[in-house]
Amino acid sequence: MAQGSSRTVTMADVARHAGVSAATVSRALSGTRPMSPEIRSKVVEAAEELGYRVNLVGRMLRQRRSATAGLIVPDLDNPFFCALAQHLSRTFVPSGLDLLIFSADSNLDTELRGVQSFIDRQVDALVLIPFHEEESSGNVAVATGSVVTIQLDRRVPESDAHFVGCDNSHGMHLIRQHVSENVDTERQPVIFVGGDEISSSGKERLEGFQREFGTEALALNGSFDATWGISAAREILDRGFRSGTIVAAADVIALGITSHLHAQGLRVPEDFRVIGFDGVGVSHLAHPTLTTVRQPVEAMSRAIVSIVGSEEVGDTQTIRLEPELVVGESSPSTAEGG
């Protein structure tokens, strides 16, 4: 369509531009039936190039669908949740669904308000990262009673909602292998700096660490933020440690730890090795580069889109995907760094 034309772009225009039938365009833009990702992307690109706008109100009335999915995160202060939202939003594009994001602001009542707000807007699916492993159970139950609900990254146990997340236990096993092969733990003893224990991810990483390294290893728990990392590093030094291998439950914690160690004149990795967990969000800001367990956020996002796009109502799915260890300068693979 030439710029400046006043004629409304039609579905037939999009079909001609994409080289497909009008029916294919309808299916691709409505997301009502399975379709090859390549064809769907081709149609979406043609629609965007021509400036075609779907009549969403009319489509909602005809199909009782809103062409939207909701994502509720515990907070937007944690850069991992921001990165997760970005990856998921990008993966939703070919499906024709828009992803709307709501922050629970670390509050159960606000989390419930977000659930009810998305239900009232008749979203086609709700992706929820529960704020609290136990106390969010009622909010998750409200969601699952009204809409297809997928718990992401964190979960309420024994819920009827689907779950897609990282295999945290395997992540800690990867760290154990790395430490066993590359670290003199007599000189650099292993210390765990965890996040909170009110989330399943925080709890699973602590439990995974203790299975791999034993309960006698020092473990400190606080919150998933850099401020806690600084406080934890200060406590480790106050306990008399002048060298060690610090395993952080999140990259953002690792950044706080590293900054305090540097401020005290200690070297990473010569004095303290630092290992993170997440691999997206703030990990690229680390200096030296961070050794971390990278969550498979792309595969997690694809799994969620697959559940949302399924036309069959089946059993509740629990999908745990294996992460990978990314070796950086903060804990190198050779003895040279330590």
- Compute the C-alpha angle 205/210/214, nearest 5°: 160
156 pLDDT above the threshold of 60: yes
9 pLDDT above the threshold of 60: yes
Per-residue burial over 141-151, b if 16 or more Cβ lie within 10 Å, else e, is ebbbeebbbbb
HEC letters along the chain: CCCCCCCCCCHHHHHHHHCCCHHHHHHHHHCCCCCCHHHHHHHHHHHHHHCCCCCHHHHHHHHCCCCEEEEEECCCCCHHHHHHHHHHHHHHHHHCCEEEEEECCCCHHHHHHHHHHHHHCCCCEEEECCCCCCCCHHHHHHHHCCCCEEEECCCCCCCCCEEEEECHHHHHHHHHHHHHHHCCCCCCCEEEEECCCCCHHHHHHHHHHHHHHCCCCEEEECCCCHHHHHHHHHHHHHCCCCCEEEEECCHHHHHHHHHHHHHCCCCCCCCEEEEEEECCCCHHHCCCCCEEEECCHHHHHHHHHHHHHCCCCCCCCEEEECCEEECCCCCCCCHHHC
- Looking at every residue in the chain, the average pLDDT score rounds to 88
Residue type, 110: T
- 226 and 142, same structural domain? no
Structure tokens at 296: 């498979």
Of 193 and 22, the one with more pLDDT: 193
Q: What confidence category does residue 23 fall into, taking pLDDT thresholds of 50, 70 and 90? A: confident
Sheet holding 291-294, edge to edge: 218-221, 190-194, 244-248, 272-278, 291-294, 324-326
| Residue at token pair 């950086």 | 328
297 pLDDT above the threshold of 90: yes
310 pLDDT above the threshold of 80: no
pLDDT of residue 58: 40
- 142 and 175, same structural domain? no
Backbone angles phi, psi at 70, to 5 degrees: -105, 145
Of 53 and 171, the one with more pLDDT: 171
Confirm whether 333 is domain-assigned: yes
- CA-based nearest residue to 305, from 131, 147, 123, 90: 90
- CA-based nearest residue to 74, from 123, 122, 139, 119: 139
Average pLDDT over residues 317-321: 95
Q: What confidence category does residue 48 fall into, taking pLDDT thresholds of 50, 70 and 90? A: confident
pLDDT of residue 135: 95
pLDDT of residue 47: 84
Residue type, 218: L
218 pLDDT above the threshold of 90: yes
Rounded Cα distance between 81 and 103, Å, is 10
Helices 79-92 and 297-309 cross at an angle (nearest 10°) of 50
2 pLDDT above the threshold of 60: no
The CATH number for 292's domain is 3.40.50.2300
Lowest mean pLDDT segment, chosen from 19-33, 57-71, 266-280, 290-304: 57-71
Confirm whether 185 is domain-assigned: yes
Rounded Cα distance between 194 and 59, Å, is 47
Structure tokens at 4: 């400046």
- 329 and 236, same structural domain? yes
- 286 and 149, same structural domain? no
pLDDT digits (tens, 9 = 90+) for 224-280: 999 999 999 999 999 999 999 999 999 999 999 999 999 999 999 999 999 999 998
- 195 and 108, same structural domain? no
- 333 and 211, same structural domain? yes
Confirm whether 138 is domain-assigned: yes
- 331 and 205, same structural domain? yes
Into how many domains does the chain fold? 3
Percent above pLDDT 90 for the chain: 67
Confirm whether 2 is domain-assigned: no
The CATH number for 43's domain is 1.10.260.40
296 pLDDT above the threshold of 90: yes
- 22 and 100, same structural domain? no
- 177 and 91, same structural domain? no
Of 20 and 216, the one with more pLDDT: 216
Confirm whether 303 is domain-assigned: yes
Confirm whether 229 is domain-assigned: yes
Of 18 and 38, the one with more pLDDT: 18
pLDDT digits (tens, 9 = 90+) for 188-208: 999 999 999 899 999 999 999
Confirm whether 4 is domain-assigned: no
Structure tokens at 189: 């003893």
Domain region containing 23 = 11-54
pLDDT of residue 30: 61
- 312 and 331, same structural domain? no
